[in-house]
Structure formats: structure tokens, C-alpha cells
């Protein structure tokens, strides 16, 4: 079976080889340092890894690496990332604090503060304050909160909508090329249209804006879910209207040639609980998820992908009711997220995409043998009766032992009856 056939099979809840995704989305990727080590192990030419997602410093999984590892899914690139940097093919070399030379977007601009931390500038414009920081001892960027004084009487929902706009002509031209590139091989294809993640705090600081206004502080945002609900409804309502316009344009270009779309990465879970009550979810978030997902299901054949970390089992029926078809990252190590129970309860209602190995403990800190065993355990649960796409519990992090990463891939290959790498 081709990768596309495997993915279609899994999305239809049919048994068969489990498809593998690494690099298809910004929540199923591999840190650039690990991409480099994988290429080195496999004997590929030594060249700088392309950064496809600077926030988490994810490395591009190219065709050569995808084929060697047996990856079955590819993503559709977008012109702009969350920092407003352009991924149009224009790249510049940059040496990271950990000593790796990578290829950043061409308009990437930075400076170093007195501690040696890297400061990144939204849209590459150094005339404004930096929007993100990469501490010199870290491996990814953190958004910098640039919250001005909040005047409750003057709050305007448009301020929190500055980053949401209809696709530009340049974005659409780039999207056309990206779709054709993604469809050029035998992999299944997932898109990430952007602008559809209602309430995702990762976007709250406005890291792609030069001078963000509105509610831009994480704490204030969560306070707003209780004290400024009418304001958030204004933001979400208009954001959804814009998203529907863009989804229609996206479909006009991609049609039903792609298999799935990542619509939302808003997290509702911690390690031990949920961020809000079910009632708050139903009142504040669900109407907008319903509206987008209903349009998708009425007008396309796409399956809808929801990323949501943590102990979210109480919310899973709500997500299904909202029209989500796919759940990621399936953080079964969190409270109440037992693998076997999740599979038995939801296997006919959801495709599980992820959950293949614990990226907080086993993959980075276990032995290769422990990784191999855990991956097989997860496959034996989630792979049963189809409806499963293999990925780890969120992105593969920096400093993960390369032998553990290889053990992960080899365990999947063993399960699928393929020779080891």
C-alpha cells in the first residue's frame, strides 16, 4: 500500500498497515537537531536542516528522509508562520545556540541580549520590540508577552483580530504550489489552513505582529474566559467568519485531493485535569468549532484533526459532538487517559493520531529496548481494528537519543512487517 492508501484506510477505520506521520503538522514534527542526526546516521549528505516551524525549531522532513524512515504523511506548507516569517524558498544560514547550522526563513532577524539569549523580531522588523526569545540554554523559542495597559472601556475585539485576515494573493499562489508539491508523491496529505484555532493561547501574544494590541497576556486571556466572555465571543465570531472564507478558498485549490486538515490546537488539559469546565467549553468554544466543522463536512471529504494535550477524557465526547474526526496527541500518560479504555470507548468515533510513545519520559530518557517495547504496546492497543495513525505524544524533542528514535521507527516497521532501518 502507498502512504496515501494507508492513511485513507486508517481514516475509514479499516484494519491494515498503520500509517506513520512525522513532519505533517506543527504538532507531529521532529526537532531540527534530531533531523540532522537522523540524516547523519543514514549516511545522507551533510547540509543545513531547513526550519519549517521556528517557534518549536522543527526541522523539515524531506523526501529522502521520509522514504528512508517509512513516513506516510506529508503536510501542505503555508507562506507565513506564526512569527510572520515567509517560507517562500528564500533562506539564510543561522548558527543556533547549540551549535547547529540551520536554514531559517529569509526575513528572519534576531539580536542577542546581555545574557546571550536570542531575540526574534516579528516579520523580521527590528524597529519594534522582539516578539520571541530563545534562551541560550534552550532549543526552541518562547513568545514574549507585550501586553500594554488594558483599558476595559476601550477594549475593541478588532485588536485581537489583527493577525486574522483573508488569504492574500501571494498566500494563495504559494498554497497552489504547496498543494501540488504535497500531492506529487505517494504520501497521504494533511493541510493546516491557519487562522482556525479558536482560543489557542499559543497565538494570544501575537508573536507575528510588530505591535500587538488587545488581550495579549496568557494570564489575562484565561481571566477573560470568565470575566470578558462577551469580548471573546466577538473575537471568535469574527475569526470564524474569516476562517470560513479561507477554508472555502483552500478547498477551491486543494479540493478533496487531501485527506485531512488540522483545524485547532487549543489545549484544554493539564497533566492532571482540564483548563475549564465542560459548561465553559460548550458556551465559549463549541459553537465556533461546530460552525467550521459543519462547513467542512458539508462541503468537503476532509477529516478534521484536533490537537489537544493533557487529561482531556471528559472533553472527548464534546469534541466528537463538535465534529472532530481525529484526536492528537493522545497523551495517555496524563490522568484518566488510559490507552485501553480510550480505544474501547472511542474507536468507532475517533481516529487516534499519535500516542505512540511517551515523549516526556520513555523516548528521551528510557533505553532503546524500553522505547521499542512501549511502541509495540501502544500499537497493539491503538492499531487494533484500524483508526490509527502513528506518531509520538507530540513532537520529538531535542536531545532525544538517536538510538531511541531509531528504536521507535523500527518498532513500527516490525509491527507493519517491514525490515528494520
- Whole-number pLDDT of residue 381: 98
Contact by Cβ (8 Å): 55, 133: no
- pLDDT tens for residues 149-207? 999 999 999 999 999 999 999 999 999 999 999 999 999 999 999 999 999 999 999 99
Asked, for residue 383, whether it belongs to a domain, the answer is yes
- pLDDT tens for residues 362-387? 999 999 999 999 999 999 999 999 99
Strand 110-112, strand 118-120: pairing: antiparallel
Domain that holds residue 318: 3-29+70-82+157-415
Asked, for residue 99, whether it belongs to a domain, the answer is no
Asked, for residue 137, whether it belongs to a domain, the answer is no
Asked, for residue 231, whether it belongs to a domain, the answer is yes
Residue carrying C-alpha cell 468554544: 285
296's enclosing H/E stretch is helix 286-299
67's enclosing H/E stretch is helix 63-69
Strand partners, 118: 112, 134
- pLDDT tens for residues 292-331? 999 999 999 999 999 999 999 999 999 999 999 999 999 9
Asked, for residue 208, whether it belongs to a domain, the answer is yes
Contact by Cβ (8 Å): 167, 249: yes
Instruction: Mark out the alpha helices in 307-420 (DSSP H runs).
Output: 316-321, 339-346, 362-365, 368-382, 402-415
- Whole-number pLDDT of residue 36: 98
Domain count, the chain: 1
Q: Sheet harboring 58-59: ordered strands across?
A: 58-59, 49-53, 101-105, 91-95
Asked, for residue 211, whether it belongs to a domain, the answer is yes
First to last CA, the chain: 19
Asked, for residue 168, whether it belongs to a domain, the answer is yes
pTM (two decimals): 0.97
Strand partners, 142: 133
Asked, for residue 16, whether it belongs to a domain, the answer is yes
Contact by Cβ (8 Å): 21, 389: yes
Cell triple for 277: 469546565
Residue carrying C-alpha cell 549516511: 43
Q: Residue 171 sits in a domain of what CATH number?
A: 3.20.20.210
Amino acid at each position: 500500500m502507498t502512504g496515501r492508501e494507508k492513511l485513507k484506510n486508517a481514516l475509514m477505520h479499516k484494519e491494515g498497515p498503520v500509517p506513520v506521520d512525522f513532519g505533517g503538522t506543527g504538532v507531529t514534527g521532529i526537532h531540527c537537531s534530531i533531523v540532522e542526526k537522523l540524516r547523519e546516521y543514514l549516511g545522507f549528505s551533510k547540509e543545513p536542516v531547513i526550519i519549517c516551524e521556528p517557534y518549536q525549531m522543527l526541522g523539515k522532513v524531506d523526501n529522502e528522509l521520509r522514504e528512508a524512515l517509512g513516513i506516510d504523511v506529508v503536510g501542505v506548507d503555508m507562506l507565513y508562520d506564526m512569527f510572520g516569517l515567509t517560507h517562500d524558498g528564500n533562506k539564510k544560514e543561522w548558527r543556533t545556540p547549540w551549535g547547529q547550522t540551520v536554514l531559517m526563513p529569509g526575513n528572519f532577524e534576531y539580536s542577542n541580549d546581555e545574557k546571550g539569549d536570542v531575540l526574534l523580531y516579528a516579520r523580521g522588523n527590528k524597529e519594534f520590540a522582539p516578539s520571541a526569545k530563545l534562551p541560550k540554554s534552550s532549543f526552541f523559542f518562547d513568545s514574549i508577552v507585550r501586553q500594554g495597559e488594558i483599558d476595559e472601556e476601550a477594549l475593541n475585539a478588532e485588536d485581537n483580530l489583527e493577525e486574522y485576515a483573508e488569504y492574500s494573493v501571494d498566500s494563495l499562489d504559494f498554497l497552489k504550489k504547496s498543494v501540488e508539491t504535497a500531492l506529487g508523491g505517494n504520501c497521504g496529505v494533511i493541510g493546516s489552513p491557519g487562522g482556525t484555532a479558536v482560543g489557542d493561547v499559543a497565538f494570544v501574544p501575537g508573536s507575528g505582529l510588530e505591535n500587538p494590541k488587545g488581550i495579549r497576556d496568557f494570564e489575562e486571556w484565561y481571566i477573560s474566559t470568565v470575566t470578558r466572555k462577551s469580548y471573546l465571543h466577538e473575537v471568535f465570531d469574527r475569526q470564524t467568519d474569516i476562517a470560513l472564507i479561507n477554508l472555502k478558498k483552500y478547498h477551491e485549490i486543494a479540493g478533496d485531493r487531501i485527506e485531512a486538515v488540522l483545524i485547532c490546537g487549543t489545549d484544554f488539559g493539564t497533566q492532571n485535569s482540564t483548563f475549564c469546565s465542560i459548561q465553559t467549553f460548550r458556551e465559549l468554544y463549541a459553537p465556533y468549532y461546530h460552525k467550521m466543522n459543519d462547513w467542512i463536512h458539508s462541503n468537503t471529504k476532509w477529516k478534521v484533526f484536533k490537537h489537544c494535550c493533557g487529561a482531556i477524557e471528559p472533553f472527548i465526547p464534546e469534541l466528537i459532538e463538535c465534529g472532530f474526526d481525529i484526536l492528537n496527541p493522545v497523551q495517555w500518560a496524563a490522568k484518566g487517559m488510559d490507552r485501553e479504555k480510550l480505544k474501547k470507548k472511542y474507536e468507532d468515533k475517533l481516529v487516534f493520531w499519535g500516542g505512540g510513545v511517551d515523549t516526556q519520559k520513555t523516548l528521551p530518557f528510557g533505553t532503546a529496548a524500553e522505547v521499542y517495547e512501549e511502541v509495540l504496546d501502544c500499537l497493539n492497543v491503538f492499531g487494533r481494528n484500524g483508526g490509527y495513525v502513528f506518531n509520538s505524544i507530540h513532537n520529538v524533542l531535542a536531545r532525544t537519543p538517536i538510538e531511541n528514535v531509531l528504536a521507535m521507527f523500527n518498532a513500527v516497521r516490525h509491527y507493519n512487517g517491514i525490515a528494520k532501518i
